[in-house]
């Protein structure tokens, strides 16, 4: 298991274990930046990805893989933060639909598998690991285009619908989570337009001051999470802290 270990904090002369964070999708641009920023804040960071040296293996489409990763990390005790930094917008054989005639059942299934079902299974196995006696965080990357009220352009059927489904799943998870962990924060986050492989084909027309590096986006997102409390659970927040209408 790979984790970055900061120096042990001290309180009253007694050793105090650092807060533990889990970043799923740590091989991606935003995920890697989040892991680095959390490490700089003093977290013990566990980095999970589908493949790659130095990562705890986790396949978002394989429930057994998710369960195994959770068991490995949970063996060392509770965690404080879980961030799901995964997402699918375009890949080989998958691209956002422009018209209803472009709708394809296989493509839709892939969107939902990665953008909604995968994070839900992460929650199934990792929410029980959150510390019950202090503030904890579960956050998943969503998108502004997942807002039903904000949809004025149409298109991007699978991506929009899967992100809207993610927002509803997290809303529902937050209600149940509050019963056992009343100090927990459970939200989705819109990172803005970030200069990564996911958004690169769609950056034309984005103002330079609204095209973020992964590092800047990570700092924005962590600043938002730091300000949120249990009353904010179940909502989707943009990178600037503004609550996004469902």
pLDDT averaged over consecutive 10-residue blocks of the chain (246 residues)? 43 62 97 98 97 94 98 97 96 94 98 98 98 97 96 97 98 98 98 77 64 94 98 98 96
Nearest Cα residue to 215 out of 191, 240, 198, 237: 191
What does residue 230 show for φ and ψ, rounded to 5 degrees? Answer: -55, -30
- Say if CB 194 and CB 29 are below 8 A apart: yes
Per-residue pLDDT, 176: 98
Which pair of structure tokens corresponds to residue 75? 């063996």
Counting beta carbons within 10 angstroms of the beta carbon of residue 101, is it exposed (0 to 12), middle (13 to 18) or buried (19 or more)?
Answer: exposed
Which pair of structure tokens corresponds to residue 223? 């600043």
C-alpha 45/C-alpha 31 separation (Å) is: 11
Residue partners of 56: CB distance under 8 A and separation at least 6: 1, 2, 46, 47, 48, 49, 69, 72, 73
Nearest Cα residue to 120 out of 179, 32, 188, 184: 188
C-alpha 160/C-alpha 143 separation (Å) is: 8
- Say if CB 5 and CB 44 are below 8 A apart: yes
C-alpha 2/C-alpha 77 separation (Å) is: 15
Q: Is 150 helix (H, G, I), strand (E, B) or coil?
A: coil
Per-residue pLDDT, 211: 79
C-alpha 84/C-alpha 136 separation (Å) is: 14
Per-residue pLDDT, 6: 44
- Say if CB 184 and CB 130 are below 8 A apart: yes
Per-residue pLDDT, 5: 43
Element (H, E) at 11: strand 9-11
Per-residue pLDDT, 195: 82
Tell me the CATH architecture of domain 19-244.
Answer: 3-Layer(aba) Sandwich (3.40)
Which pair of structure tokens corresponds to residue 56? 């705890």
Nearest Cα residue to 86 out of 141, 35, 127, 145: 141
């Amino acid at each position: 298991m790979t984790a970055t270990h900061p120096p042990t904090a001290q309180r009253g002369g007694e050793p105090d274990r650092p807060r533990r964070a889990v970043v799923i999708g740590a091989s991606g641009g935003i995920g890697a930046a989040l892991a680095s920023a959390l490490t700089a804040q003093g977290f013990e960071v566990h980095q999970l990805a589908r493949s790659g040296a130095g990562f705890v293996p986790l396949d978002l489409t394989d429930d057994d893989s998710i369960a195994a990763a959770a068991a490995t990390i949970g063996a060392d005790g509770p965690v404080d933060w879980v961030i799901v930094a995964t997402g699918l917008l375009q890949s080989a054989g998958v691209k956002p639909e422009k018209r209803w005639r472009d709708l394809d059942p296989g493509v839709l299934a892939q969107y939902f598998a990665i953008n909604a079902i995968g994070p839900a299974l992460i929650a199934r196995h990792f929410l029980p690991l959150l510390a019950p006696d202090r503030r904890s965080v579960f956050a998943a990357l969503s998108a502004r285009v997942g807002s039903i009220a904000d949809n004025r352009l149409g298109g991007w059927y699978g991506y929009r619908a899967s992100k809207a489904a993610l927002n509803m799943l997290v809303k529902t998870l937050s209600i149940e989570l509050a019963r056992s962990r009343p100090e927990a924060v459970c939200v989705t986050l819109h990172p803005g337009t970030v200069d990564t492989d996911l958004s690169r084909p769609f950056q034309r027309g984005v103002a330079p001051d609204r095209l973020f590096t992964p590092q800047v986006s990570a700092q924005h997102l962590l600043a938002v999470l730091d300000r949120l409390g249990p009353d904010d659970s179940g909502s989707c927040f943009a990178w600037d802290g503004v609550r996004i209408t469902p």
